[in-house]
Amino acid sequence: MSDDHTSQAWGIYGGILQDYVKVDNIKRMASEGAVLENAFCTNSICSPSRAAILTSQYSHRNKVYTLREPLEDGKKHIASLLGENGYETAIIGKWHLVKEPEGFDHYNVLPGQGVYHDPVLKSKENWQDGYKGGKTYKGFSADVITDLTMDWLDNRTKDKPFFMMTHFKATHEPFDFPDRHKNLYRDMDIPESESLYDFSPETTGRTFTGQKLEILGERMVQATIDPDNFWTSYPDLPFSIEGLDSIEVRKKVYQKYVKDFMRCGAAIDDNIGRLLDYLEDSGLAENTVVIYTADQGYFLGEHGFFDKRLIYEESLRMPFVIRYPKEIKGGTRIDDIILNIDFPSLLADFAGVEKPSDWQGKSFRKNLKGQTPINWRDKMYYRYWLHRTERPGHFGIRNERYKLAFFYGQPLGMKGAMKEVTEPAWEFYDLQSDPNENRNAYGDPQYLDVITSMKKELIALRNELGDTDKQYPVMQDIIRKYWD
């Protein structure tokens, strides 16, 4: 799994970057396995998505809402479940769940976000809380994490099945890359999203400002001016936007940003190839399920944004490819709505292990074989908890054609949330006529019946999943006031 490696940069999902991205090994996996066309996260931010992928539970159930909550002590997750059933288990790379990992036979993980070059990783032998402890490994992070993965595979208990989670730091900001990719895209212009020059909510009728590309540009400028005191370092500095107008600024920031992002992604693709070759050379390929995914999507200039967090498609959508020659036909594409909470249930199914009763996800093993169960979901629930005024707290529902979101705009005591509230607001999109979500159609009378029906479905789905906000009187008041 990578961090933020959004579907727009995978090549296999089409889009304006498909002819530019270096994704030979992602394409190799897709040709030999199945691609999920409609996989979605349930809370588009790193720690909550990772917790969902481990626990098969929504944020309100596993209690990982933002970036600061650990998993509860003794929390049952997919690795601990498989470990109890004869598997040798390991995680190497990004963990990002605050406390020391539990339930793995082996771990060697980055502290927090970690760094791209000469990363520190922490194991049982040298763990200290926070950013203390660990060991420095020379090299680029994705290469190091792959080296450590193959070392563990070489030294595992050979008569036991294994479960390995290899988690890259890439492609998280600051989107750094190894020296071998520094000249990719050097003297070319990359195509731009049709909504790159969307500068304000009035353009589309959305109800919030969002994380604009100019913020990223200012970060690059500050890292240039004061590198010793800025929180990170971007590749290929110095960077300047002095003397440019608003269009020129956005164009320059976008070009640097998307090129760095694709160079960073190329390093992941290199290492996917190394791992696939290792499995082939070791005789493990035929009997090993291999999945590559990202913890969520990411904006690459769409709506003028970068980052994630929103219910919009670029952020909500999770790229996902799976290879298992014994069972999955190469070149398969699956249209069913599949969620990150389903991933652990699938893995338990492959291992022949019964999932715990409190897991909320469902195995999609039959879906991968073209045998979608008749009662498979036709809609999904999303909630983002880390409220800020430019990206308010919200929840919503998406089905095969429509999306309805309620931006309730309250911090609800979440760690890191902004205390200033925003006026609650609705957004609605017809993904058939407006797939890029460039027109909030909530006030369009032609959709009145659809919206009324989806509001009822949203309430029903929240009740079914147990996310009712009964513990928040302010939310009960807001829902009563704004639901009609």
pLDDT in tens, 237-273: 999 999 999 999 999 999 999 999 999 999 999 999 9
Contact 296, 19 (CB under 8 A): no
Residue 68 to residues 46, 48, 59, 163, 416: CA-CA distances in angstroms? 11, 9, 13, 26, 8
- Please give the average per-residue pLDDT across 46-67, as a whole number: 98
pLDDT given for residue 426 in this prediction: 98
pLDDT digits (tens, 9 = 90+) for 275-325: 999 999 999 999 999 999 999 999 999 999 999 999 999 999 999 999 999
Q: Which of 274, 376, 280, 364 is nearest to 322 (CA)?
A: 364
Full set of structural domains in the chain with CATH: 7-178+259-371 (3.40.720.10), 386-482 (3.30.1120.10)
Residue 484 pLDDT exceeds 90: no
Q: Residue 299 forms beta bridges with which residues? A: 307
Looking at residue 106, its pLDDT comes to: 98
257 HSE (CA, 13 A, CB side): 30
81 backbone φψ class: left, alpha, beta (φ>0; ψ -120 to 50) = alpha
pLDDT of 429 over the 90 cut: yes
pLDDT at residue 327 above 80?
Answer: yes
Distance CA 315, CA 210 (A): 12
Q: What is the model's pLDDT at position 137? A: 98
Residue 352 CB coordination number (10 Å): 9
Q: Which two tokens stand for residue 323?
A: 């290879």
CA angle 159, 163, 168 (to 5 degrees): 135
Q: Is 65 left (phi over 0), alpha (psi -120 to 50) or beta?
A: alpha
Q: Give yes or no for a contact between 177 and 235, defined as CB atoms under 8 angstroms apart.
A: yes
User: For residue 333, is pLDDT > 90?
Assistant: yes
Band the pLDDT of 346: cuts 50, 70, 90. Answer: very high
Number of C-beta neighbours around residue 444 at 10 A: 14
Q: In angstroms, rounded to a whole number, what is the distance separating the alpha carbons of residues 90 and 189?
A: 41
Per the CB < 8 A criterion, the answer to whether 261 and 174 are in contact is no
Containing 333, the helix (H) or strand (E) segment is: strand 332-334
pTM for the model stands at 0.97
pLDDT tens digits, 454-476: 999 999 999 999 999 999 999 99
Q: Where is 83: in which H helix or E strand?
A: helix 78-84
120-159 burial: b if 16+ Cβ within 10 Å, else e: bbbbeeebeeeeebbeebeebbbbbbbebbbebbeebeee
Per-residue tokens: 391: 């990206």
- Tell the residue number behind the tokens 């193959």, with chain if given: 150
Q: Apex CA 396: angle with CA 10 and CA 307, to 5°?
A: 40
Q: What is the pLDDT of residues 150-159, one digit of tens each?
A: 999 999 999 9
CA pair distance 21, 224, nearest whole angstrom: 27
Distance of CA 32 to the CA centre of its chain: 23
Q: What are phi and psi of 200, to 5 degrees?
A: -155, 160
Among the listed residues 318, 300, 198, 312, the one whose alpha carbon sits nearest the alpha carbon of residue 256: 300
Gap between the Cα atoms of 259 and 379, Å rounded: 35
pLDDT in tens, 76-120: 999 999 999 999 999 999 999 999 999 999 999 999 999 999 999
Peptide bond into 238 cis (omega under 30): yes
Instruction: Identify the three-state secondary structure at position 429.
Output: strand
DSSP 204: T
